[in-house]
Amino acid sequence: MLHKNSRERYNKLKKVFRRLMQEFNVDDLDEFIAVANSMPAWMKQDTTLVQEQRDHLARFTVDGSLDWQICNQIANRQKHVGARNHGRPAPLVGEPQIVPDRGIYLPSAAKVIGAGQEIYVEYCGQRQSIRAFVIRTFKHFHYMFEMAETAPAQRQIPTLADLAGV
């Protein structure tokens, strides 16, 4: 097994996230989604996690979570090529649309992150930025692995530049 626990999987997710923040592209996005989608199964088996980590995971993976639905539905489509719904309702996440993009300028770091491709999907009739989804999803896992074990009074809220490693 290449990764032995959920912490190692999180570290991989963090590396892929930072690559996406350097250059947003479909190849790294595919990897990010695959790793993020696998995290709940890894975390459920990890006996070293504290209750707050487990609770946050449960809140993130509810059916009503926009980010979990985008992650899970795209990952399943990538994993099961040509899969049919077999009588189940059609997926709520539409096919991706890809356009060139200049990224996000972070004044605090005087840097641009996420330049390359902007990718959108339709979700329940509304256009959703996949870059925004990636940032929100990574923030969930960052909280679970880098903040949840710290006492609330001692937690430092990172900036997007901190998360992106710039």
- Is 98 contained in some domain? no
Q: Which residues contact residue 154 at a Cβ distance below 8 angstroms, ignoring those fewer than 6 apart?
A: none
Work out the number of other CB atoms within 10 angstroms of the CB of residue 149. Answer: 13
Range of the domain at 86: 6-90+131-164
Q: Note the pLDDT tens digit of each residue in 8-45.
A: 999 999 999 999 999 999 999 999 999 999 999 999 99
Q: Note the pLDDT tens digit of each residue in 126-140.
A: 899 999 999 999 999
pLDDT for 140 equals 95
- Is 34 contained in some domain? yes
- Is 54 contained in some domain? yes
Q: Note the pLDDT tens digit of each residue in 42-68.
A: 999 999 999 999 999 999 998 888 899
- Is 101 contained in some domain? no
Q: Which residues contact residue 83 at a Cβ distance below 8 angstroms, ignoring those fewer than 6 apart?
A: 76, 77
Instruction: Tell me how many domains the chain contains.
Output: 1
pLDDT tops 80 at residue 87: no
Q: Which residues contact residue 163 at a Cβ distance below 8 angstroms, ignoring those fewer than 6 apart?
A: 17, 21, 135, 138, 139, 142
Residues 25, 51: contact at Cβ < 8 Å?
Answer: no
